[in-house]
Homo-oligomer: A and B are copies of this chain.
Amino acid sequence: MSRFFSEKYKKLVPYTPGEQPRDVVYTKLNTNESPFPPSEKAIKYAAIEAEKLQLYSDPTCKFLHQKLAETFDVSADEVLATNGSDEILNFAFMAFCDKNNPAVFPNITYGFYKVFAEINGIPYEEITLKDDFTIDINDYIGIGKNIFIANPNAPTGIALSVTDIEKIVASNPDNIVVIDEAYVDFGAESCVSLIHKYENLLVTQTFSKSRSMAGARLGFGIGCKALIQDLNTIKYSTNPYNVNRMTMAAGIGVLEDDDYTKKNCNIIIENRKYLEKELERLGFVFTESKTNFVFAKHPSYDGGFLYQKLKEKGVLVRHFATDKISDYLRITVGDSNQIKTLLTSLESILED
């Protein structure tokens, strides 16, 4: 830290992203990437744009917003694309929370919510999940604070129904409810359709998981026009050209190729079932995942130990050394080869 660093950030603990090793070839099941390459259309469109990089990207993201609007059956002015969904989440904390408008979110959820609150000086409360890691919606009914819920939740993988989400949104009409649907395409229900009924609902999604574009950095928010206007005010006051040309074009490409995305999601759902069955055979227990990962623990082995042993065998999974979940591993559902490698490694560790 330099002696120039602002007092207000001196205690800030940044988010720790999952390892992105560059040097060793791992079976990489630690950051919930898709095992499938991006859509051919996405690759092709991005490559075409690479030849025109001397020109700025369109700050209004017109064609991408139109395509997103068409895909989600909303208007283009109800959509905002960002540099990954972390950016739209940060914009939401900035735009709608402040000293007088605190945030609440589950105590076990995407670790970045807390960091967004901290960096923006926003008071926040972490609401304890039930012992089975489910969200008790009664904790959020009429709470009168801005609510951030990942649905399905991470790293638990457990989803709420749209009916339950609607109860939370309807009971907090004077506060914003942000539903982070990063993992929604793997078996949960999206609540995008509620945005026309509730002006206090913002839904965020990402191209990083089901759409095989983690490396392109593309996320988006969907909400009523006035919310999107506010988020645009933040965007145009921080980084108007936030989405580059190649990513914008790739985004349009993958949306045009929705069958490919759906096919891949179905494979992941099938692979998840298989992985769960095999993990069960090995003695693991796990939550009911609606995502592209399984959140599993073994009654006889410490999570940190298994994480380390797997890493030594060239398999990366995610382990959170934090209260209540340190027994667990978050394992990305990969393709059949990755699953085989994982299972073989686990079997060998458990036998030792």
Contacts and interface: CB of A to CB of B under 8 A. Distances in A.
B98 A7 contact: yes
Contacts of A14: 232-233, 235-237, 240
A219 to B, nearest CB: 10
In this complex, the member of A58, A176, A233 whose beta carbon has the largest number of chain B beta carbons within 10 angstroms is: A233
A80 interface: no
Given A38-B53, A236-B15, A244 B216 contact: yes
Contact of A97 (B6, B37, B56, B62): B6
A5 B96 contact: yes
B176 A239 contact: no
Interface stretch (A42-50, A182-190, A279-287, A298-306): A42-50
A33 B55 contact: yes
A20 B59 contact: yes
Given A2-B226, A33-B54, 10 more contacts: A17-B59, A20-B57, A22-B62, A38-B50, A54-B213, A84-B241, A90-B238, A116-B238, A216-B244, A217-B243
A240 B5 contact: no
Interface of A is mostly: loop
A109 B60 CA distance: 24
A87 B115 CA distance: 18
A202 to B, nearest CB: 9
Contacts of A96: 4-6
Contacts of A226: 1-3
A5 B215 contact: no
Interface stretch (A245-253, A266-274, A344-352): A245-253
B229 A2 contact: yes
A321 B110 CA distance: 45
A227 interface: yes
Closest 8 CB pairs of A and B: A14-B236, A2-B226, A215-B245, A54-B212, A46-B50, A217-B244, A47-B47, A38-B53
A230 B98 contact: no
A4 B216 contact: no
A34 B57 CA distance: 13
A5 B84 contact: no
Contacts of A243: 217
A234 B9 contact: yes
Interface string A103-123: 000000000000110110000
A224 interface: yes
A31 to B, nearest CB: 6
A36 interface: yes
Contacts of A214: 53-57, 241
A246 B46 contact: yes
A277 interface: no
In this complex, the member of A7, A84, A239 whose beta carbon has the largest number of chain B beta carbons within 10 angstroms is: A239
Nearest to A176: B4
A289 interface: no
Interface in A194-214: 199-200, 208, 212-214
A252 to B, nearest CB: 13
